[in-house]
Each structure stands twice: as C-alpha cells, then as structure tokens.
Amino acid sequence: MSYTLPKIWTHPNNTDNPFFNAERMVAGARFEQKLPVGDKPLQLYSLGTPSGLRVHMVLEELAESGVADAEYDAFAIDIGRGEQYGSDFVALNPNAKIPALVDYSANPPVKLFEFDAILQYLAEKHGQFIPASPQKRAECMSWLFWQAGSSPYVGGGFGHFFAFAPEPFEYPINYFTLEVKRQLSVLDKHLADKAYLCGDGYTIADMATWTWYGRLALGLVYGSGEFLQVADYPHVQRWAKNIAARPAVQRAMNLRLQAIG
C-alpha cells in the first residue's frame, strides 16, 4: 500500500486499532482513581511486562538477600483496561506507563517512575546489586543506560512490526530486525569472557537487560526465537539461562499482583 506523506500529520482515527486511540495523543488523567495502599514499606503498581518484570526482579532479589525494609505490596495496573490513565497513577507517573513505586519508609514518601530509576534507587538505598567501586559502578550504569536506549528497538520497533502490526511490512521488519540482531551481537561479544555484564557480579544492569534480551534469547518474547536465530548468540544464551535459574527471578516471573479495585 502506497503512502503519500502529508505536509501536516493528522490522526488516522483508526478506531479498530488500539495503537491509534485518539486519546493517546493527550497526556494527563482521564478519570478519578483511588489506588490501594498496603502496609508494607514499598507499594508497587506494575504488570508482568518486560518493563515491570525488572522491578519485580530487584524486589525479589532484595527479599532473597534478607533486606527487611524492602518488603512490598504489589498491585496490578491493567493497561488493557486503561488503568494507567487514572488520576492516582498519573500523579505517580505523569507519563502514564508502568511501573511506579512509592517508598513509604521515607518521610515524606518517595515517588518513583521509570523502571531504571526505580532499580537505581533501590540498589543504592540498600547497597545491593550495584558495584561499590567508582569504576565498576560506572560500567554498571553504562550498561543500564545502554539497554534503556536500545530496548525500544526490541519492543516498540521489532515487536510492534513483527507481532502487532495489522499486516507484515518488509521494510520496518528488516530495519528493526537488523538492529536487534546487532544489539544481540554486542551483548554476545561482551559476555564472551564475563559471567555478567559488569564482570562476576550480578547487578541491576543484568536485571534490566535480561527482561528483554535474556527472554528474547530464550525464545520467550514474541515467539521470535527461530526468526532471530537466537542460538547464534551462545554467550547471551548462557547468561540468560543462568539468570532465569535464580530463585528470585522465578518468583518475579510468577509474581501475583493484586487487583486495584
């Protein structure tokens, strides 16, 4: 299907496609909402997506390490029903994306959004899963922000056109597949002589990267393992399997979240 680029973009008003919901163009709350608050120090509002899973992972890893004041209540934000646009959730995250977290052990409470900000906050607060030395910490943060800039190619790019677009389009599938395979190659070469992204120590950089790239390498994302030939990245495979075997990661993958209403 040919497309003539207009001088000024207007909304396609394709009501059959949820990605073109007209309201998605406008930020802010769409309805009044009262989020539940449990009795644990941390209150998590999330979902079992790659973005949510990495926060579930760090919380379960902190629990595995015996960090008492990292106990949390977990509530589901059903993005299919638009619960992320409720007034209370938007007050936590103006960008209306999961996850969001509130730390009530602080006075006043600390509100956090963006998964990498949550990971960094929890790791630094509890002195866990982030290196102490300036050199290793810099390496950890570099990989944390590498995946923050790279993973949209996996989710918003490759995943959208491979799995969700109304029909296959050769150019964007080729474009995003090329970039995703390049990124897998970056990881594979880097992990050739390392157990984890920053050496021997498991960090928040591994957690953040695993939920997209590790699960992709294990064939758990979009059913695209054969298409991407993920077996061609043996060091990513080894790293991904080692993390998947961690008890805290298994609990995070199966975490039951409470409904908000």
pTM (2 d.p.):
0.94
CA gyration radius, the chain: 19
Looking at the domain assignment, is residue 161 inside a domain?
yes
Count of H-run helices and E-run strands, the chain: 10, 4
Q: Is there a domain that residue 40 lies in?
A: no
**Number of C-beta neighbours around residue 160 at 10 A:** 16
Identify which has the larger pLDDT, 244 or 27: 244
Backbone angles phi, psi at 102, to 5 degrees: -125, 130
Residue length of the chain: 261
CATH of the domain at 148: 1.20.1050.10
Residue with tokens 């390392």: 194
Average pLDDT estimate for 49-70 = 96
The number of beta carbons lying within 10 Å of the beta carbon of residue 71 is 15
pLDDT digits (tens, 9 = 90+) for 17-30: 666 664 567 799 99
Q: Does residue 126 sit within a domain?
A: no
> What's the whole-number mean pLDDT along residues 107-134?
97
Amino acid at 26: V
Average pLDDT over every residue of 234-252 = 98
pLDDT score recorded for residue 1: 62
Give me the pLDDT at residue 2, please.
Answer: 79
What percentage of the chain exceeds 70 in pLDDT? 95
Alpha-carbon span 4 to 211, nearest angstrom: 38
Asked if residue 45 is part of any domain, the answer here is no
State which residues form the domain around 155: 134-246
Supply the pLDDT for residue 63. Answer: 97
Task: Write the pLDDT tens digit of every residue in 209-234.
Answer: 999 999 999 999 999 999 999 999 99
**Average pLDDT of the segment spanning 244-260:** 98
Domain membership flag for residue 123? no
pLDDT of residue 14: 64
Nearest to 36 by CA among 75, 72, 8: 75
Tell how strand 110-113 and strand 42-46 pair up. Answer: unpaired
Average pLDDT over residues 137-144: 98
Average of per-residue pLDDT across 148-161: 96
More confident residue, 21 or 91: 91
pLDDT at residue 77, as a whole number: 98
> Before 108, cis peptide (omega within 30)?
yes
Q: How many domains does the chain fold into?
A: 1
Contact call for residues 11 and 25 (beta carbons, < 8 A) = yes
pLDDT for the residue numbered 68: 86
Predicted local confidence at residue 132, as pLDDT: 94
- Average pLDDT taken over every residue of the chain: 94
Range 230-259 average pLDDT? 98
9: left (phi over 0), alpha (psi -120 to 50) or beta: beta
